[in-house]
Structure 1
Amino acid sequence: MDASISLFDLGWQTYFQQQLSLDDLDANLIARVCHVSSSGYDLISEQGITALKSAPNQPNMTIGDWVVIDQDFEFVRKLDRSALFNEDDQLIAANVDTVLIVCALDDSFNLDLIKRYLELVHDAEADAIVVLTKADLCEDTEEKQAQVQQLDPLLIIETVNAKSETPLQSLTTFFKKGKTIAILGAPGSGKSRLVRNLIDLNQASTHFSVQQDALFALPNGAVLLDSPALRELQASAAHQNLTSEFADVLEFASHCRFNDCTHTNEPGCAIKQAVQDGKLEEQRVDAFRRTYGHYQDLDVSKKSKPQDKFHRSAHSDVRARKHSMSE
């Protein structure tokens, strides 16, 4: 047994404890999924890392799931989830308590994208905290914060300046032992800097002193959950928002001479021609360039699918019941 790891360090809560039988407590082990592959799963537990091969008797699982295994490290069952991120029947992440939605207060401030991320969090039945970054670059912080607050009067909003000596002091109060945190944010929002200020990825203890890259130790005993699928989900949401917000500009972009046109100095740029012809405003194109610069690694030729109706049930009965059980 790795004495440096405990179930509570990994995000264990009363909600999951209440699902255990006497046999589980006497004879079985508890582990959390930290990696998913086509052939099986990696589990992290008080015993360290364990490989679990896929089998017909297993349900589909994802990073963050809690499972019961026997003394031979064979699958027994999966515990009920408190929250689940999924998209098009693809499992993304499970048992996330709180999501930090990160948005910059500079020119890339995007209220519609915050709204889209809130949809994802509410559909997953997790709680959301909006973190507004780069406050040092904004002269109308209070106005933008008020715009975000109008999305949900009960929404918790924190404004941080990453350049200050204690930029995240207000956030760490939300990190409690046993809680699992995830972070969503568009490229350029300051999400990466936020993570670097929270944890040191070079320290083995951050990874619970085992080889895995999905669950990380946060201040005050909380757990940060990250995964490629979760990053793809937030990139997809950002891409959908981009194609929705700038649909008219992208229509002109589809007629550019070069597929990789940056819409600055290239010959045959349809966007530049549209500005000259008075069909697009230069100010709107400038806003598109700033936003597009963050998403050049995304395929902006794809059409965005319609956004789901925005759910404002931040304190729905089912989530309130689940989270109260874990206090």
Structure 2
Amino acid sequence: MNGECRNKGSDTSAICVIPGWNSSLASAFSAYNGPYIPGRISTQHKTVWNILTEKGEIQASISGVMRKVGKQPVVGDFVVLLDQSDIGSYTIVDILPRTSCLSRGSAGDSGEEQLIAANIDTIFIVTAVGHDLNVRRLERYLTIVHSSGARPVILINKIDLVETLPDDVSETIQEIRDIADDVPVITLSALTSTDLEKLDPFMNPDETIALVGSSGVGKSTLINALLGHDVQKTLSVREDDDKGRHTTTVRQLFTLPNGTIFIDNPGIREIQLGDSSDGIDRTFSDIAELAQNCRFKDCTHRNEPHCAVIKAVDDGIISQERFDSYHKLSDELAFQADKAEIGLKGVEKKKWKGVAVARRYVKSKEQ
């Protein structure tokens, strides 16, 4: 996992073998003169981060300025570190520009986004045959992944269990293929290494793949299978609901022998959409395409006359379940947007209240 940089002197444009490092990052980093080195976040803890650097893997915290403005790096971020190795200290002082960012809405009324990982090229949405195989849940995942800027791929794991499960599994898999549009849908078994070669087209050196999915769908088992040895702890499957038990507790970055970078994530219990409005039309591309034929450009597809989407539902072209899911997620996104706006107004109000207090303090001193 350790990264090494072949930099000579102050030449920051030299090739760096920190996983995923490239010329664009080197150009952005070149603005920093002095005792600074680049790195990539490999593991995120509560108050410290493990970082791959030219000196190997080190641990650092963020600067006071970053903490004050609420700027925190996530796994996959490329960061700038103040190098005080002479006293055994490193400090994260900045985050280099992100090319993509996976996030979800946070619980509660704040409306804030929870960042999950950054600088991802492909996101494997991992599900498994059995209780987790749910079309509506996958629509939620697709919405946040489409909004991230990364390419989604759906992996249906534990295909080795199909013979012991009801016959409708194949029907559900076909339904997933039907709603996925141009998103690849791959069936495999991480446990038996069946059909892992189907992932080869996505396993490119210096590209980053993140794994997301519920607890127990086999993300850690997949990491172990791809690496060829066990690096992530796995537990047995529960017999009552065929789910693996929760094992991964922190996000972590791994590099495969061919140079592909993987980010393993803890299972997501609740998929809050957050600010994923950009992903809704791509997830429901069939509905978005039909909507172009509605009489009104701002048609909400609820009770307007001459609605092409409602007609498609009536004609059986769009299933009622998918139509209902579209409205449910659209309404949730609108609600999240309202929460975010209220949250921003609260922050702005608090800011100007502080300014007013400061002004009164200064005025009292002048009198």
Mapped contact 1:175–1:218 kept (Cα < 8 A): no
Q: Which residue type is aligned with residue 54 of structure 2? A: E
How far apart, CA to CA, are the structure 1 residues paired with 2:2 and 2:51?
Answer: 16
- Count of aligned pairs: 230
How far apart, CA to CA, are the structure 2 residues paired with 1:4 and 1:125?
Answer: 25
Q: Which residue type is aligned with residue 231 of structure 1? A: P
Which secondary structure state, in structure 2, belongs to the residue aligned with residue 57 of structure 1?
helix
In structure 1, the partner of 2:188 is 160
Change in Cα spacing, 1:217 to 1:37, as seen in structure 2 (3 Å) is: closer
Q: Which residue type is aligned with residue 52 of structure 2? A: I
Mapped contact 2:37–2:82 kept (Cα < 8 A): yes
Per-residue CA deviations over 1:134-177 (Å, capped at 9, x if unaligned) read 33433567644432233232101111134656531111331111
Mapped contact 2:63–2:91 kept (Cα < 8 A): no
TM superposition shift of 1:114: 1.2
Please tell me whether residue 45 in structure 1 is matched to residue 74 in structure 2. Answer: no
In structure 2, the partner of 1:134 is 158
Q: Which of 179, 183, 199 is the equivalent residue of 2:211?
A: 183
In structure 1, the partner of 2:96 is 79
In structure 2, the partner of 1:269 is none
TM superposition shift of 1:36: 3.6
In structure 2, the partner of 1:20 is 29
Unpaired stretches in structure 2, ≥5 consecutive residues = 6-15, 85-89, 107-111, 233-249, 273-327, 334-367
In structure 2, the partner of 1:102 is 126
* C-alpha RMSD of the superposition: 3.4
Mapped contact 2:77–2:96 kept (Cα < 8 A): yes
Change in Cα spacing, 1:150 to 1:19, as seen in structure 2 (3 Å) is: farther
In structure 1, the partner of 2:230 is 201
Which secondary structure state, in structure 2, belongs to the residue aligned with residue 33 of structure 1?
strand
Which secondary structure state, in structure 1, belongs to the residue aligned with residue 19 of structure 2?
coil
Q: Which structure carries more relative contact order (alpha carbon 8 Å, separation 6+)?
A: 1
Mapped contact 2:43–2:253 kept (Cα < 8 A): no
Which secondary structure state, in structure 2, belongs to the residue aligned with residue 155 of structure 1?
coil
Change in Cα spacing, 1:56 to 1:153, as seen in structure 2 (3 Å) is: same
Unpaired stretches in structure 1, ≥5 consecutive residues = 204-211, 239-305, 312-327
How far apart, CA to CA, are the structure 2 residues paired with 1:107 and 1:152?
Answer: 19
How far apart, CA to CA, are the structure 2 residues paired with 1:13 and 1:123?
Answer: 24
Q: Structure 2 length normalisation: TM-score? A: 0.53
Mapped contact 1:104–1:189 kept (Cα < 8 A): yes
In structure 1, the partner of 2:147 is 123
Mapped contact 1:216–1:225 kept (Cα < 8 A): yes
Per-residue CA deviations over 1:97-140 (Å, capped at 9, x if unaligned) read 21111122345421111111112212222211111123343356
Please tell me whether residue 222 in structure 1 is matched to residue 260 in structure 2. Answer: yes
Per-residue CA deviations over 1:255-299 (Å, capped at 9, x if unaligned) read xxxxxxxxxxxxxxxxxxxxxxxxxxxxxxxxxxxxxxxxxxxxx
Q: Which of 144, 147, 152 is the equivalent residue of 2:175?
A: 147
Q: Structure 1 length normalisation: TM-score? A: 0.59
Q: Which of 58, 75, 86 is the equivalent residue of 1:63?
A: 75
How far apart, CA to CA, are the structure 1 residues paired with 2:169 and 2:47?
Answer: 48
In structure 2, the partner of 1:231 is 266
Q: Which residue type is aligned with residue 153 of structure 1? A: D
Please tell me whether residue 33 in structure 1 is matched to residue 41 in structure 2. Answer: yes
Mapped contact 1:119–1:310 kept (Cα < 8 A): no
Change in Cα spacing, 1:14 to 1:131, as seen in structure 2 (3 Å) is: farther
Shifted more, 54-63 versus 69-78: the winner is 69-78
Which secondary structure state, in structure 2, belongs to the residue aligned with residue 114 of structure 1?
helix
Which secondary structure state, in structure 2, belongs to the residue aligned with residue 173 of structure 1?
helix
How far apart, CA to CA, are the structure 2 residues paired with 1:40 and 1:174?
Answer: 31
How far apart, CA to CA, are the structure 2 residues paired with 1:150 and 1:93?
Answer: 28
How far apart, CA to CA, are the structure 2 residues paired with 1:235 and 1:8?
Answer: 35
Among all aligned residue pairs of Structure 1 and Structure 2, give the percentage whose two residues are the same amino acid.
26
Q: Which residue type is aligned with residue 170 of structure 1? A: K
Which secondary structure state, in structure 2, belongs to the residue aligned with residue 237 of structure 1?
coil
Change in Cα spacing, 1:71 to 1:147, as seen in structure 2 (3 Å) is: same
The structure whose Rg is larger is 2
